[in-house]
Amino acid sequence: MTEPQNHMRRLPWEGPDGTAEYAPHGVTDHIADAAETHIINRARNDAAYALIMIQRPEITHKDVCALVAKLAGHVKDVASVADMREERLNSPAAKALESALRAALGQH
């Protein structure tokens, strides 16, 4: 699906036409969570690898450019994951739950 709705979750991948894909909450949550975790872990691992590689005397300008391009892609992907998580935290259901918890705890 490609149409966002309140009960839909944006998935951490794009459809064949390059647009965001959505699925009902619960249907693909485990797969989407695993994909988000993979995106973040891949970025962390490649950042650690890049820090090691730039210390090597034989690294070339071309190698550094390739590392920077890869890391820039990871920044874009991780920022997208952050945006998706913010959307879920600001969803009407999440806000209603937050209000109910605050009320139960006597907070405003």
pLDDT digits (tens, 9 = 90+) for 28-68: 889 999 999 999 999 999 999 999 999 999 999 999 999 99
Are the CB atoms for 77 and 39 separated by under 8 Å? yes
Q: Out of 15-24, 54-63, 65-74, pick the least confident.
A: 15-24
Distance CA(73)–CA(57), nearest Å, equals 25
Distance CA(98)–CA(75), nearest Å, equals 30
